[in-house]
Amino acid sequence: MATPLKKITFEKAEREAIVGRIQRYFADELEQSIGNIPAEQLLQFFGEIIGPFYYNRGLNDAQAAFARIADSFNDEIYGLEQREARSR
């Protein structure tokens, strides 16, 4: 059974920094201004709707990294086995 995704929250300073980046992006890339409240709403939208896609990608990347390490670990263990005991 899948565990529901825990709601991601940010400390006040983190949220302010993210909102500032959203505002700078709008100003620099779109040549538009966006206020604090719309920027916070956009942050909330991305966190709730888009965020899970990034979260799942991160989990997939972590799982692949763990699988590589586990394979390496298995190879190391296999290398430690006594050769003669292996062939019997």
- pLDDT at residue 29 tops 60: yes
Average pLDDT of span 19-48: 96
Q: What 8-state DSSP symbol labels residue 6?
A: P
Average pLDDT of span 34-38: 97
Average pLDDT of span 6-17: 90
Q: Which of 66, 58, 63 is nearest to 5 (CA)?
A: 58
Q: Give 15's pLDDT tier (boundaries 50, 70, 90).
A: very high
Average pLDDT of span 21-45: 97
Average pLDDT of span 62-86: 84
So where are the chain's domains? 12-86
Higher-confidence residue: 5 or 45? 45
